[in-house]
Chain A
């Protein structure tokens, strides 16, 4: 139950925590012994702009090389899946390096232990790299200054920098970074505690709008995604698994398949026992039949002729309708497992005149990242080389090595751009499948999942239920809270990955009487992190319920929310990942003000408000919604006000908020994965109606300049939206929506 105490509910954090602590103490400048290993790795990076150019550059540290001609090559360590990290992280380096952005060329770094947390998850890439990358940039700048000072025979303190140039004002001398790079790179790196950093007001890059580093390649169709990689003599594989999750192969018509056009070979992967679990680090393999062919189409076509006998005796028999029935029986009740309790919430609520009791539910959903899973793997001379889009690259080498029972040094991993992630690529299941298939083939192999594979064999955002009870006192003040999380569980001990454990701090920290309980529903359906795990669904529950309470208390919703926060304070003093009530109130007030909260709205139209804190981000959203008599809604505009500290790339940050609003609207409106007897009932986008362009609202994004260090933005703008829209619908119609997606309540967009 450690996740309960973990404000960001990230299932991978525990695995990583040892590593991160170790890295935070590390001196990042000029790590010994790294150069040789990296040089080898560069040679096999397939999309590197120019391997020759890279080797001509002077290497300063893991992140920076500077060529004589002034090109500054910055290596971006973390996986790019659309969150803009490949632009944002190098911006941090370039800022402290005082580099001219025009001189900067960005490349993916190799996958190597020296790069630490090479992962995209938990909205943590920026905050966890912040100090390290500032040091990397400032360290190189100090070395360049020292080299120029030596050349000019002046004190280092008299040398200044500006946009890739070095100046000595009193003698009116100037040189470029490129001109002194070689000399500078041979100096001893400075001690970390001697480095100086810019004040935020001196920033030239951070907080400005920088277009994505890969945009030119993207708009011209260059091969940069995982699926785009082509190697000489490469073969193409499909992998067919049991649609009843966890079924095993008894036998298959492999001889017939091998005779089909273009098929090179076909074989069974026995796999590991049990239903698949979220497993980024381990060796689990879902059983299935691999078909290796000369083209993707031939490997897909051959699948249609596959006849597989499955053993489903150990497979999932889940049905969503069973969960719904179980939850209905628990309506109004507390759970038997008490997760947190203070005071006597049951009694206070029982005695109260003004109280609300509601049950909320939300569906399983698929990640549906637009690029279906693929991975290229090549086995030669006991070395496995994999090119993947993993969001958890730091675990790829170890996981593949353990699977194949070879040393980790014998696994070379490369990171390629992922066509969306949303948490799906945190699992390394498809990479292990590719490696195991490639080990049996004398050529590089690209494993390609179909969209149907992707939807059927996802590690879903878990569906679930919450019973919510609370009361307000005679002054309309929230005074007791009793929440009950009804969550799916495979082992009967803990909720499945990312299944509901919330709430965390709010409202426990503001109430004398508070209780939170848990009931587990048996479920084998694989689950995993999905953009803002648990918050992506619980925020709808909490913030709809807060609106219910404000209505019951006959108080203005914004005023009620603000009052519920109390005095400005950190809920957990000294912890950045703790809610700060002052920051919360601030974003709520600004959002209300920008949206014109309180002004009279046209008939059939209303504003809805929501606030949520997760991933260290404080975000308030207001939705302007109209509803017609056929329950067709129009979301005219959404205001997003976020306090995530220092903004890195304003363009990217604003875009992430746009995307979070669209994604959240898409999900709350129509997205649902259901299963019957262990089989996923949706298989493609015709049954999974992602939002189309015509349904987009206008979106107004505002970032609060709070002076805090940066925190991540991949997730925290998602959770508040659903409640904001549903609260507006309530205000228009009086219909309280307590289930997602709202399509099931008859609403369309």
Chain B
């Protein structure tokens, strides 16, 4: 029996195989399907979630190591009052997604970046987002949206 915190609430994973990657536990066991399967080898970043606030690839993290740990997924990245995270707003404002499949992972990587660096420049963004592939090629707008969100957060909006 493994229990962990997901998006602020305690979740029990039942008699799950401890080798199960967090990705599949989130999707199949907890029904949190916003975290996406793309490659299974930490190359694409579609499964990016926060483990104790740090971005990780959920396909590489075994649930057996997560007892009592704190996970945040795209479903839990919005503000506590239920309003969208500045990044989510900016993603809509800039119409970032094409197919949209990578975008949850992109937003999770960007959210980790902004929580550590409130005024990232393009180099900071390139470095923080290098692990996230967008097969459709929406990089231009991803960068614009991160700048927009950073600007809003900097003006004192809640993160």
- Say whether A associates with B: yes
| Residues in A whose Cβ lies below 8 Å from that of B24 | 295-297
Beta-carbon nearest neighbor of B98 in chain A: A82
Among A11-19, A144-152, A429-437, A659-667, the one that faces the other chain is A659-667
Shortest distance in angstroms between A715's beta carbon and chain B's nearest beta carbon? Answer: 13
Q: Mark A73-87, 1 if CB is under 8 A from B, else 0.
A: 000000001111000
| Known contacts A297-B20, A685-B43; A370 and B38 CB within 8 A of each other | yes
| Known contacts A236-B28, A420-B101; A211 and B38 CB within 8 A of each other | no
| Known contacts A219-B84, A227-B37, A694-B126; A214 and B100 CB within 8 A of each other | yes
Distance in angstroms between the alpha carbons of A557 and B76 in the assembled complex: 54
Q: Which chain A residues (130-145) contact chain B, with CB distance < 8 Å?
A: none
Q: Which of A209, A220, A662, A691 lies at the interface centre, i.e. has the most chain B CB atoms within 10 A of its CB?
A: A220
Distance in angstroms between the alpha carbons of A552 and B3 in the assembled complex: 71
The answer to whether A370 and B138 have CB atoms under 8 Å apart is no
| Residues in A whose Cβ lies below 8 Å from that of B73 | 221
For residue A175, CB closer than 8 A to chain B, the reply is no
| Known contacts A655-B141, A658-B137, A662-B137; A225 and B27 CB within 8 A of each other | no
For residue B80, CB closer than 8 A to chain A, the reply is no
Distance in angstroms between the alpha carbons of A496 and B25 in the assembled complex: 42
| Known contacts A84-B98, A219-B107, A296-B28; A658 and B135 CB within 8 A of each other | no
Q: Which chain B residues (98-142) contact chain A, with CB distance < 8 Å?
A: 98-104, 107, 125-127, 129-130, 132-142
Distance in angstroms between the alpha carbons of A418 and B138 in the assembled complex: 16
For residue A223, CB closer than 8 A to chain B, the reply is yes
The answer to whether B98 and A659 have CB atoms under 8 Å apart is yes
The bracket for how many chain A residues form the interface is 35 or more
Q: Which of A220, A221, A692 lies at the interface centre, i.e. has the most chain B CB atoms within 10 A of its CB?
A: A221
For residue A230, CB closer than 8 A to chain B, the reply is yes
The answer to whether B97 and A684 have CB atoms under 8 Å apart is no
| Residues in A whose Cβ lies below 8 Å from that of B39 | 451, 684-685
For residue B92, CB closer than 8 A to chain A, the reply is yes
For residue A509, CB closer than 8 A to chain B, the reply is no
Beta-carbon nearest neighbor of A418 in chain B: B99
Distance in angstroms between the alpha carbons of A431 and B70 in the assembled complex: 37
Q: Mark B127-159, 1 if CB is under 8 A from A, else 0.
A: 101101111111111110000000000000000
Distance in angstroms between the alpha carbons of A624 and B85 in the assembled complex: 36
| Residues in B whose Cβ lies below 8 Å from that of A694 | 126-127, 130
The answer to whether B36 and A227 have CB atoms under 8 Å apart is yes
For residue B93, CB closer than 8 A to chain A, the reply is yes
The answer to whether A371 and B41 have CB atoms under 8 Å apart is no
Q: Which of B95, B97, B129, B133 lies at the interface centre, i.e. has the most chain A CB atoms within 10 A of its CB?
A: B95
Q: Which chain A residues (454-496) contact chain B, with CB distance < 8 Å?
A: none
Partner of B139, one of A221, A261, A450, A693: A693
The answer to whether B129 and A228 have CB atoms under 8 Å apart is no
Q: Which of A81, A656, A659 lies at the interface centre, i.e. has the most chain B CB atoms within 10 A of its CB?
A: A659
| Residues in A whose Cβ lies below 8 Å from that of B27 | 296
Q: Mark A285-318, 1 if CB is under 8 A from B, else 0.
A: 0000000000111100100000000000000000
The answer to whether A420 and B135 have CB atoms under 8 Å apart is yes
The answer to whether A369 and B33 have CB atoms under 8 Å apart is no
The answer to whether A83 and B98 have CB atoms under 8 Å apart is yes
Shortest distance in angstroms between B104's beta carbon and chain A's nearest beta carbon? Answer: 5
The answer to whether B99 and A370 have CB atoms under 8 Å apart is yes
Distance in angstroms between the alpha carbons of A460 and B29 in the assembled complex: 34
For residue A218, CB closer than 8 A to chain B, the reply is yes
| Residues in B whose Cβ lies below 8 Å from that of A295 | 20, 24, 28-29
| Residues in B whose Cβ lies below 8 Å from that of A418 | 99
| Residues in B whose Cβ lies below 8 Å from that of A228 | 33
Q: Which chain A residues (638-660) contact chain B, with CB distance < 8 Å?
A: 651-652, 655-656, 658-660
Q: Mark A691-704, 1 if CB is under 8 A from B, else 0.
A: 11110101100000
For residue A126, CB closer than 8 A to chain B, the reply is no
Shortest distance in angstroms between B62's beta carbon and chain A's nearest beta carbon? Answer: 10
The answer to whether B40 and A220 have CB atoms under 8 Å apart is no
The answer to whether A221 and B97 have CB atoms under 8 Å apart is no
Distance in angstroms between the alpha carbons of A227 and B84 in the assembled complex: 24
Q: Mark B45-62, 1 if CB is under 8 A from A, else 0.
A: 010000000000000000
Q: Which chain A residues (177-231) contact chain B, with CB distance < 8 Å?
A: 209-212, 214-216, 218-223, 225, 227-228, 230
For residue A72, CB closer than 8 A to chain B, the reply is no
| Known contacts A295-B24, A686-B43; A218 and B104 CB within 8 A of each other | yes
The answer to whether B133 and A692 have CB atoms under 8 Å apart is yes
Shortest distance in angstroms between A701's beta carbon and chain B's nearest beta carbon? Answer: 10
| Residues in B whose Cβ lies below 8 Å from that of A696 | 137, 139-140, 143
Distance in angstroms between the alpha carbons of A58 and B20 in the assembled complex: 49
For residue A271, CB closer than 8 A to chain B, the reply is no
Shortest distance in angstroms between A267's beta carbon and chain B's nearest beta carbon? Answer: 22
Distance in angstroms between the alpha carbons of A621 and B95 in the assembled complex: 23
For residue A712, CB closer than 8 A to chain B, the reply is no
For residue B4, CB closer than 8 A to chain A, the reply is no
For residue B78, CB closer than 8 A to chain A, the reply is yes
The answer to whether A220 and B41 have CB atoms under 8 Å apart is no
The answer to whether A693 and B41 have CB atoms under 8 Å apart is no
| Residues in B whose Cβ lies below 8 Å from that of A658 | 137-141
For residue A372, CB closer than 8 A to chain B, the reply is yes
For residue A417, CB closer than 8 A to chain B, the reply is yes
| Residues in B whose Cβ lies below 8 Å from that of A419 | 36, 99-102
Beta-carbon nearest neighbor of A234 in chain B: B28
Q: Which chain A residues (262-292) contact chain B, with CB distance < 8 Å?
A: 262
For residue B32, CB closer than 8 A to chain A, the reply is yes
The answer to whether A693 and B129 have CB atoms under 8 Å apart is yes
Q: Which of B21, B25, B88, B136 lies at the interface centre, i.e. has the most chain A CB atoms within 10 A of its CB?
A: B136
The answer to whether B33 and A221 have CB atoms under 8 Å apart is yes
Beta-carbon nearest neighbor of A697 in chain B: B140
| Residues in A whose Cβ lies below 8 Å from that of B35 | 221
For residue B74, CB closer than 8 A to chain A, the reply is yes
Distance in angstroms between the alpha carbons of A209 and B96 in the assembled complex: 12
Beta-carbon nearest neighbor of A666 in chain B: B137
Distance in angstroms between the alpha carbons of A656 and B138 in the assembled complex: 9
| Residues in B whose Cβ lies below 8 Å from that of A692 | 130, 133
For residue B64, CB closer than 8 A to chain A, the reply is no
Partner of A420, one of B31, B88, B99, B140: B99
Q: Which of B28, B84, B103 lies at the interface centre, i.e. has the most chain A CB atoms within 10 A of its CB?
A: B28
The answer to whether B33 and A663 have CB atoms under 8 Å apart is no
The answer to whether A372 and B34 have CB atoms under 8 Å apart is no
Beta-carbon nearest neighbor of A660 in chain B: B137
Shortest distance in angstroms between A454's beta carbon and chain B's nearest beta carbon? Answer: 9
Q: Which of A227, A230, A236, A297 lies at the interface centre, i.e. has the most chain B CB atoms within 10 A of its CB?
A: A297
The answer to whether B139 and A371 have CB atoms under 8 Å apart is no
For residue B44, CB closer than 8 A to chain A, the reply is yes
| Known contacts A84-B98, A662-B139; A693 and B132 CB within 8 A of each other | yes
Distance in angstroms between the alpha carbons of A699 and B139 in the assembled complex: 11
For residue B67, CB closer than 8 A to chain A, the reply is no
The answer to whether B33 and A215 have CB atoms under 8 Å apart is no
Distance in angstroms between the alpha carbons of A684 and B59 in the assembled complex: 14
The answer to whether A659 and B137 have CB atoms under 8 Å apart is yes
Distance in angstroms between the alpha carbons of A260 and B50 in the assembled complex: 32
Distance in angstroms between the alpha carbons of A417 and B98 in the assembled complex: 11
For this complex, 7 residue pairs linking A to B, each with C-beta atoms less than 8 Å apart, are: A221-B32, A262-B17, A296-B27, A298-B17, A370-B102, A418-B99, A659-B138
Q: Known contacts A228-B33, A295-B20; can you find 9 more A-B pairs with CB under 8 A?
A: A84-B98, A219-B92, A301-B19, A371-B38, A372-B38, A418-B99, A419-B99, A685-B39, A696-B143
3 nearest A-B pairs in the assembled complex, by CB-CB distance? A221-B34, A662-B137, A82-B99
Give me the interface of B with A, judged by CB distance under 8 Å. Answer: 17, 19-21, 24-25, 27-29, 31-41, 43-44, 46, 73-75, 78, 84, 87-88, 91-93, 95-104, 107, 125-127, 129-130, 132-143
